[in-house]
Amino acid sequence: MGSIFIAILIVITARVARSQLEQLWTIYETPDDLIRVALGLAVYIWLAVNLFVLRRDVGAYRTWFYLGLVLLPLSVVCAVTVR
């Protein structure tokens, strides 16, 4: 459950951080797009690293399971509706 939740967060981050302009090189024209892409890339890398980190105890797996049950439907709705 936790891995699916983090994967959906990666998708949401990629969609939100994407530049509003057509080409990648045009992000330098406005500081807002450059900041959005830079922060999105940092969050994307952080989430991707946490996706592959194994937890050390059973309690952490239990916590991620319960969080996944609660937050997974909400994150799916956000991934579908965020543009």
Domain ranges of the chain: 2-81
pLDDT digits (tens, 9 = 90+) for 2-47: 677 778 888 887 777 765 655 666 667 777 777 877 888 888 888 8
pLDDT digits (tens, 9 = 90+) for 52-77: 877 788 887 888 788 888 888 888 88
pTM higher than 0.75: no
| Tokens 């959906």, residue located | 8
d(CA 9, CA 79): 8
- The pLDDT score that the predictor gives to residue 44 is 82
10, 82 contact by CB (below 8 A): no
* DSSP-derived secondary structure letter, 53: P
